[in-house]
Amino acid sequence: MSDVRLGHDVPDFSMNTYDPVAHGFSKVTLAGQKEAGRWTVLFFYPADFTFV
């Protein structure tokens, strides 16, 4: 089940990323997004090499 609730703090997360603009691997953390004062949209989809 889900740990997150609307209107509440979400837990920190850390994920490795591929950045197509910088054309390299990087990492995203919620802590980093908060520190940078950025909004975050997480857009989940089932799998690469399929429709999104």
Partner 1 sequence: MGCDVFTVSTDTEFVHLAWKRSEKELANVQFQMAADPTGAVSKQYGVYDDGSGLALRGTFIISPAGVLMNSEVNFYNMGRNVDELMRKFKANLYLAKKPDEGCPSKWKDEGDKTLRPGPEMVGKVHEALNG
Which residues are near partner 1 by CB under 8 A? 1-11, 13, 15-21, 25-26, 28, 30, 33-34, 36-49, 51-52
Instruction: Identify the DSSP state of 11.
Output: P
* Residue in the block written with tokens 């490795």: 16
Minimum Å distance from CB 28 to partner 1?
6
Minimum Å distance from CB 50 to partner 1?
9
Minimum Å distance from CB 14 to partner 1?
9
- Strand 14-19 and strand 24-29: pairing? antiparallel
Compute the distance between CA of residue 10 and CA of residue 50 in angstroms, rounded to an integer: 29
